[in-house]
Amino acid sequence: MSWTDKARISAAAQAVREIRDNTTIGLGSGNTILRALELAAERIKKENLKITFIPTSYQTEIAAKKLGLKTSDLQEDTEPDLALDGADQIQWRTLDLVKGGGAALLREKIVDSTARRLIIVVDEKKLAKTLGGPNQYRSR
């Protein structure tokens, strides 16, 4: 397993620790969020949690359904308790961030802004000294 994969799993595991029973979770998209979803599914099964997910992309929705997770949308659940999302770049001193321009961006922004809490799940590879500048990641 590569260092990047280990970092993604670690970041995803930290985020999944914040999930509570009887909550609605907004889900962004991308590899790290998919890892978080897999870990959440394991925890839900192990602890018999009642969680509803609001996916922001077709990819995330399909993954949630394959894992047997309950999904919803913002028309039914207008205020998620928590949103888990990724970012393309984070300025490490200010935590300002850049979101990608992918197809799910609008839905991600809507879900993120309506959630009571937002956790941005990234690994060290996404850190930069200044936004728009090079990422500070160095291979280990």
pLDDT in tens, 56-113: 999 999 999 999 999 999 888 889 999 999 998 989 889 898 887 677 888 999 999 9
| Active site (annotated) includes residue 108 | yes
Domain presence at residue 68: yes
If you search the block for the tokens 């870990």, which residue do you land on? 39
Domain presence at residue 102: yes
Domain presence at residue 93: yes
Instruction: Indicate the number of domains in the chain.
Output: 1
Q: Quick check: 28 and 83 in contact, CB under 8 A?
A: yes
Q: Quick check: 55 and 64 in contact, CB under 8 A?
A: yes
CA 84/CA 86 separation, integer angstroms:
7
Strand partners, 97: 90
Domain presence at residue 138: no
Give the predicted TM-score (pTM) of the model: 0.88
Angle between helices 31-47 and 3-16 (to 10 degrees): 50
Domain that holds residue 105: 3-127
pLDDT of residue 139: 47
* Residue 20's pLDDT band (cuts 50, 70, 90): very high
Amino acid letter for position 90 = I
Domain presence at residue 134: no
Domain presence at residue 53: yes
Instruction: Using DSSP, state whether 99 is helix, strand or coil.
Output: coil
Domain presence at residue 133: no
Domain presence at residue 139: no
What's the CATH code of the domain at 36? Answer: 3.40.50.1360
* Residue 6's pLDDT band (cuts 50, 70, 90): confident
Q: Point out the catalytic residue in the list 61, 76, 108, 124.
A: 108
Print burial letters for 33-45: b (CB count within 10 Å at least 16), e (below 16).
bbbbbebbbeebe
pLDDT of residue 62: 97
Is the confidence at residue 39, as pLDDT, over 90?
Answer: yes
pLDDT of residue 101: 65
